[in-house]
Amino acid sequence: MSARLLIVDDSNIIRNHIARLMGDPRLPSIEVVGLAGDGIKAVDLAKKTSPNLITMDLTMPNMDGEACIEQISKILPDARILVVSALSDKSTALRAITKGAHGFLQKPFTDESMVQSLLELMS
Amino acid sequence: MDSNHRSFFGKYSILLAAIAAFFILTVSIFSVNYVLSLQLANDGARIKDSGAIRGLTQQHAKAILSLSHEIAAGDMIQTSQAQISESALALEEALSRSLSQAKTANVAGELELLAKFEKFWRPLAEIGKTIDTRPEPDRGDIQAALTKSNANNVRLMQLADDLTQLIEGAAAARARDLTRIQTGAIAIALVNFLFIVFYTLRSLRRSDRVAEIARGETEQIMATVREGLFLIDPKGIVGSQRSSFLEKAFPRPLPAGADFLEVLAPLVSPEALKSAGEYIGLLFNRRVKVALLISLNPLQQVEIRDADSGKAPAYLSFDFHPVYAAGTDGVAALLVSAVDISQQVALAHELEMAEERSQTEMGLLSSVLKNNPATVAAFASNAEAGLGEINNELRLIKSGPGSYNMLVNRIFRTVHSVKGEAAALSLDTVARQAHRFEEVLSALRQRLDLHGEDLIAVATNTGELLEELSKVRRIVDRIGALEIGTQENEAAAADDIHHTLQRVQRLTLAVAADLGKKVRVETAISPVGTLPDSFRRLLNEGLPQLVRNAVAHGIESSSERVQSGKHAEGSVRIEVRHGDAGGLELVVTDDGRGIDAAALRRNLVSSGRYQDHEVAAMADREVISTIFQPGFSTAENVGEHAGRGVGLDVLLALARETGARLKLVSTPSSFTRFILQWSPAT
């Protein structure tokens, strides 16, 4: 099954940056199926595009990452979710992962760390 | 799983072969035993048959003899006849059985003996048939039978005996074989058993030795490693194996079987404990990728406060490594490593401080460079002198009614001046330190019952402010070393007013920005030549207080100004001009709210400084003069720029010290003007 990635982040710059990284030769072919700037759009896109990989910001307008992870993991129980967030509050990140995410990558991240994290997530 | 099987069979192959051999041997012995037992039983039956044959031969001969006697005597012959017939029939049966059994028994000579027996028996049997059934047998037949019987009987008896002996001999040989085989087999089984025992013991000893060495090595590692190592299971229970260093790394005993989080609970913050519980739970969760959680470890650097031990808080770092159950990807336990990182944390803290200090020094350097270093040096000298005087007074003060309070008031004015000037010179670190000092002093000023020990904080703060000033001085000295001496004197003289006005302008704008007001600064400077020292003091120390006062108290907020029909932007005008009799004047005018005597009266009463009737008895002039009293302020909020009721009393003191006169002119809602008149005569 080919990798289908949904990128969720309220920053346009970060969304596009992650999307551009999918051309990295170390990564298998990953199709970016959606970009969402808030939790509600992310849940909507998850329903429509059925991604199996998701990068998830935690602090977002409308619906935060924690609630978003909870909903998406009910809709797509097999999707693997990587929380990508600043480390200002470890307990929020831990709670989010408890709700159904699979891993955590600290912001700001390097290209290298994002690629390695995605590889680990897919293993 | 396959490899496990292979190694299992590989390890125990010899033992298994020995056990298999034991089984095979046992089964073989049982089989041989069984077969030989059957043969022995058969031998017994044949011996019995051959014995029967002998007996029946005798019986047959005896019956024929009896018949002949009975015939001769004329007796009844039926019994003898029946005996001849029955014995012959039984003998035939036994013979036939023996023949068939001899074929399978395969004993050499047995068949031959039986054949001979039959050869001698057959004629006798035929003759017997002729006499055994007829009611009156022929006398000749009986005589012939008797003769034949006598002739063959001895031979038949001999043959039957031979047969018995032959079979008995064969049976005895077989029994001996059986005994030999059983003895041999038991011996082999015993050897096999001894081999199994020996091999098992040797294997056990060898594996015990390997286990002993491994245990020894593990113990050495656990005794030497400089980390506190232990295991916790999915329920968070601490395991029994741990490194010796754990006792040093962990402030509390961590007994096997204890709940790790329960032991940790009194040592860390509730937040850290909660996060630790969640984190450990996640590490056992097969869904998450452990490698992608490491940065979330809430115990990576955790402050340990052991209230019972009374020791200073330590910093520990806990790392959690998953231990996978053999052959699965499930986490069976977590290997926890605890390290005391207090020293590293302290070092990091020191580094941070050093970085901050170097940044502060950079900030100081740029502030000094913005100003004339000579001006900054003059400020530092004045301030240090003022603070040095405070130190002296603190040392010399004698207790007496109000003496501490008076001293605190005096110190307050000095510190307030230092703050104002430092802010004007953008020496932020000094201004901040002076502000902190002011806060301490202002708390003391509220009290009327000051004691000697209350002044300890004053002495400490004086030291800290001096420390900040010494930093400024060091920088100024370093810059001064770079500058050319001659240039310093001339340039400093010529730029005195220019520099002072520049920094005062910066101060004015900074104070206005802090208070959210819009202010424009205008200057009008007459050519005055070289400034006398005392007038320079008025410029350096008095002017900042005057503009601060103008912006904080005079100029209204933009909205207030617009409502009263003024321009939103307030104006502060600074003039330096010639006065009477070769004197000089410093004039600061703001177009703000002016001084309203009626409002002042209300303020004096509401602040509790005067009673109603006292204020009523005062002339406007007197009311207005109260603004020069120590502690007076009309600002509602105490901030860095106003509200402490200090400023104008400092100004008044300064005027007295420099021999200047302070004049105040004001029109409510229009303007306030302060004039410092300095004359060389005084």
The torsion angle over the Cα atoms of residues B505, B510, B512 and B515, rounded to 10 degrees, is -160
Establish if B312 touches chain A: CB-CB under 8 angstroms. Answer: no
pLDDT the model gives residue B277: 92
pLDDT the model gives residue B311: 66
Are the C-beta atoms of residues B641 and B516 closer than 8 Å to each other? no
Q: CA-to-CA distance for B223 and B559, rounded, in angstroms?
A: 76
Structurally, chain A folds into a number of domains equal to: 1
Among chain B residues, the shortest Cα distance to A105 is held by B292
What is the nearest CA distance from B233 to chain A, expressed in angstroms? 19
Instruction: Give the contacts of B511 (CB within 8 A, at least 6 positions apart).
Output: B423, B547, B548, B551, B552, B641
pLDDT digits (tens, 9 = 90+) for B402-444: 778 888 888 888 888 888 888 878 888 888 889 889 888 888 8
Q: What is the DSSP string of B620-668?
A: HHHHHHGGGSTT----SS--SSSSSS-SHHHHHHHHHHHTEEEEEEEET
Partner-chain contact B292 A93, CB within 8 Å: no
Q: Say whether the peptide bond before residue A61 is cis (omega within 30 degrees of 0).
A: no
Are the C-beta atoms of residues B243 and B223 closer than 8 Å to each other? yes
Among chain B residues, the shortest Cα distance to A123 is held by B289
| Mean pLDDT to the nearest integer, B647-668 | 85
Partner-chain contact B295 A87, CB within 8 Å: yes
| Sheet strands (E) in B325-439 | 331-340
- Per-residue H/E/C for A18-79: HHHHCCCCCCCCEEEEEEECCHHHHHHHHHHHCCCEEEECCCCCCCCHHHHHHHHHHHCCCC
Q: CA-to-CA distance for B427 and B94, rounded, in angstroms?
A: 141
Partner-chain contact A117 B292, CB within 8 Å: yes
What is the nearest CA distance from A86 to chain B, expressed in angstroms? 11
Topology of domain B10-202 in CATH is Four Helix Bundle (Hemerythrin (Met), subunit A) (1.20.120)
pLDDT the model gives residue B2: 46
pLDDT digits (tens, 9 = 90+) for B202-218: 888 998 999 999 999 98
Nearest to B98 by CA among B115, B83, B82: B115
Partner-chain contact B291 A120, CB within 8 Å: yes
Establish if A49 touches chain B: CB-CB under 8 angstroms. Answer: no
Mutate to test the interface with B, among A89, A94, A99, A120 (most CBs of B within 10 A): A94
Partner-chain contact A123 B281, CB within 8 Å: no
User: What phi, psi does B667 have (nearest 5°)?
Assistant: -125, 125
pLDDT the model gives residue B674: 92
Taking contacts as CB-CB distances below 8 angstroms, the residues of chain B near A102 are 287-289, 292
Question: What residue segments make up the domains of chain B, in order of their start?
Answer: 10-202, 228-340, 355-483, 486-682
Q: Which domain holds residue A80?
A: 3-122
User: What phi, psi does B329 have (nearest 5°)?
Assistant: -105, 15
Among chain A residues, the shortest Cα distance to B300 is held by A90
Nearest to A52 by CA among A23, A81, A9, A74: A81
pLDDT the model gives residue B1: 43
User: What phi, psi does B319 have (nearest 5°)?
Assistant: -110, 145
Would the pLDDT of B644 be above 50? no
Q: CA-to-CA distance for B49 and B170, rounded, in angstroms?
A: 15
Are the C-beta atoms of residues B312 and B345 closer than 8 Å to each other? no
- ipTM value > 0.90: no
Would the pLDDT of B289 be above 70? yes
Are the C-beta atoms of residues B57 and B156 closer than 8 Å to each other? yes
Instruction: Give the contacts of B413 (CB within 8 A, at least 6 positions apart).
Output: B630, B646, B649, B650, B653
pLDDT digits (tens, 9 = 90+) for B433-489: 898 898 888 888 877 777 777 888 888 899 889 888 888 888 887 776 655 444 444
Nearest to B133 by CA among B69, B67, B70, B73: B67
User: Options 3.30.450.20, 3.40.120.10, 3.40.50.620, 1.10.3720.10; which CATH number does B228-340 get?
Assistant: 3.30.450.20
Report the DSSP beta bridge partners of residue B584.
Answer: B578, B678
What is the nearest CA distance from B299 to chain A, expressed in angstroms? 11
Provide the CATH number for the domain around residue A94. Answer: 3.40.50.2300
Taking contacts as CB-CB distances below 8 angstroms, the residues of chain A near B296 are 87, 90, 93-94, 97, 104
Would the pLDDT of B552 be above 60? yes
Instruction: Give the contacts of B335 (CB within 8 A, at least 6 positions apart).
Output: B229, B230, B231, B320, B321, B322, B323
Establish if A119 touches chain B: CB-CB under 8 angstroms. Answer: no
Partner-chain contact A94 B282, CB within 8 Å: yes
Instruction: Give the contacts of A56 (CB within 8 A, at least 6 positions apart).
Output: A8, A9, A42, A65, A68, A69, A81, A82, A83, A84, A96, A101
Q: For residue B193, what pLDDT band results from cuts at 50, 70 and 90?
A: confident
| Mean pLDDT to the nearest integer, B354-365 | 76
The answer to whether domain B486-682 has CATH 3.40.630.30 is no
Would the pLDDT of B308 be above 50? yes
| Mean pLDDT to the nearest integer, B309-325 | 82
Establish if B291 touches chain A: CB-CB under 8 angstroms. Answer: yes
Cα–Cα distance list, A38 to A9, A15, A70 (Å): 7, 11, 14
| Mean pLDDT to the nearest integer, B598-604 | 86
Partner-chain contact A82 B271, CB within 8 Å: no
Q: For residue B589, what pLDDT band results from cuts at 50, 70 and 90?
A: very high
Partner-chain contact B292 A104, CB within 8 Å: yes
Establish if B274 touches chain A: CB-CB under 8 angstroms. Answer: yes
For residue B348, how many other CB atoms are within 10 A of its CB? 13
pLDDT digits (tens, 9 = 90+) for B484-504: 444 444 445 446 677 778 778
Q: How many CB pairs under 8 A join A and B?
A: 51
Q: For residue B631, what pLDDT band results from cuts at 50, 70 and 90?
A: low
Over the range B521-556, which residues count as b (16 or more CB within 10 Å of their CB) and which as e? beeeeeeeeebeebbbbbbbbbbbbbbbbbbbbbbb
Taking contacts as CB-CB distances below 8 angstroms, the residues of chain B near A95 are 278
Establish if A55 touches chain B: CB-CB under 8 angstroms. Answer: no
Pairing type for strands A53-56 and A3-8 reads parallel
User: What phi, psi does B318 have (nearest 5°)?
Assistant: -105, 130
Q: CA-to-CA distance for A50 and A41, rounded, in angstroms?
A: 13
pLDDT the model gives residue A54: 95
CATH code, residues B355-483: 1.20.120.160
pLDDT the model gives residue B43: 87
Query: In degrees, to the nearest 5, what angle opens at C-alpha B74 toward C-alphas B68 and B78?
Result: 65
Q: CA-to-CA distance for B358 and B16, rounded, in angstroms?
A: 78
Residue B417: both structure tokens together: 């001046």
Q: Is B525 helix (H, G, I), strand (E, B) or coil?
A: strand
Establish if A115 touches chain B: CB-CB under 8 angstroms. Answer: no
**Residues of chain A below pLDDT 70:** 1, 87-89
Taking contacts as CB-CB distances below 8 angstroms, the residues of chain B near A93 are 296
Of chain B, the percentage scoring pLDDT greater than 90 comes to 13
Taking contacts as CB-CB distances below 8 angstroms, the residues of chain A near B284 are none
pLDDT the model gives residue B237: 94
Partner-chain contact B288 A101, CB within 8 Å: yes
Q: CA-to-CA distance for B125 and B91, rounded, in angstroms?
A: 10
Q: CA-to-CA distance for B537 and B678, rounded, in angstroms?
A: 11
Residue A27: both structure tokens together: 């990564």
Report the residue from B282, B292, B295 with minimal CB separation from A82: B292
Q: CA-to-CA distance for B635 and B617, rounded, in angstroms?
A: 25
Over the range B271-282, which residues count as b (16 or more CB within 10 Å of their CB) and which as e? ebbbbbbbbbeb
Q: Is B244 helix (H, G, I), strand (E, B) or coil?
A: coil
Matching fold, domains B10-202 and B355-483: yes
Report the DSSP beta bridge partners of residue A53.
Answer: A5, A80
Establish if A105 touches chain B: CB-CB under 8 angstroms. Answer: yes
Are the C-beta atoms of residues B161 and B47 closer than 8 Å to each other? no
Of chain B, the percentage scoring pLDDT greater than 70 comes to 91
pLDDT digits (tens, 9 = 90+) for B318-342: 999 988 887 777 888 999 999 888 8
Q: Tell me the average pLDDT of chain B.
A: 83
Would the pLDDT of B161 be above 60? yes
pLDDT the model gives residue B623: 85
Would the pLDDT of B636 be above 70? no
pLDDT the model gives residue B632: 66
